[in-house]
Structure 1
Amino acid sequence: MTLEAYADTILPGEKRSAEDHAVAGVASGGGAASAGALEVLRSPEGGMEPVLETLAEQLNEHARRFAEEHGHPLAAALPPFVALAYPERVSLIQELTAPDHVERELWVSLAMFSTIAFDSGSHLHTTDALAAGHPGLTTLGYFPPDADGLWRFPAYSYGRQLARPHPDTTPSGSPA
């Protein structure tokens, strides 16, 4: 819940249910938590899985300190970071990612995983993510593939052809 709250603070979205405490609900549509930030963090490719529990504990310790220093009461039933209101979550993350903070690299890395989940849905096959309505890919305007499962861009992504294909290029796009 703590790491999802962190991801939601980086790229906010709407609550997934009335009982959703991790997502602050300050934006419409899906944010990083709905886009699968926790799944990306847990993926073997990211290498973060072994330290996630420790990161959550550290973040909650920072949230406890932050709440005490700023006079913000915390709900006892929630992890401290989750219990912070959204503006306080933002302030704490700004503190943790400041250039002079000794743990900056950890918290910036965690933020990057949140954006990776939203921008690419890297934990899912792109066609599956699009079929499921992945919030990041749909927000960014990813088009689904053609009926045969291949992506084609007949109008050129820049609105004009940038270069002519090499004369030895095969119909599949491979060089001869």
Structure 2
Amino acid sequence: MNTQLRPAITIFVLLTALTGVIYPALVTGAAQVAFPHQANGSVIVKDGKAIGSELIGQNFTEPKYFWGRPSATGPMAYNGGASSGSNLGPTNPALVDAAKARVATLKAADPGNAAPVPVDLVTASASGLDPDISPEAAAYQIGRVAKARNLSIPQVEALVAANTAGRQWGVFGEARVNVLKLNLALDALGQK
């Protein structure tokens, strides 16, 4: 038994050190050197204070801000520690009711807007924390934001265009607008 136990314990200790300490330390060190912003959570800092992450949506509800996708996280919305989808299917009454409520909220915030509400403004993403909206969802909100901030529509359209990212490497995904960055650009425009 001793002849089998000693090699098993030795392999266990070596593999634990290799896969549990050495490999994670090397990967973490490489990430810190090559991609420090991403490795530290893509945190956005304003006036020396962390105000959010480029990777996690936030709950904007004031008319002067662009609104992001709804959050499906619990027990509170936009909870980075509870990333998950709602798992509600397209015919689930709870999803249908939530989408109708969100449409009603968007229409009430901008009653003059007769355009159809983009689907990403009424449905949560798979993670429940999506920080981005489609350019169509941003365009839908331009009139409300411009009116609330006393800006011209072309000014707000220019900000949306400046904050629209294309497909990754020109191939993957879709064009997107990071809501936090766009709202920070709006605030910066108001401070000038």
> What TM-score do the two structures reach when normalised by structure 1?
0.22
More strand by percentage: 2
Q: Which structure shows the bigger proportion of residues in helix conformation? A: 2
**TM-score, normalised to structure 2's length?**
0.21
Q: If you compute each CA radius of gyration, which structure gives the higher value, 1 or 2? A: 2
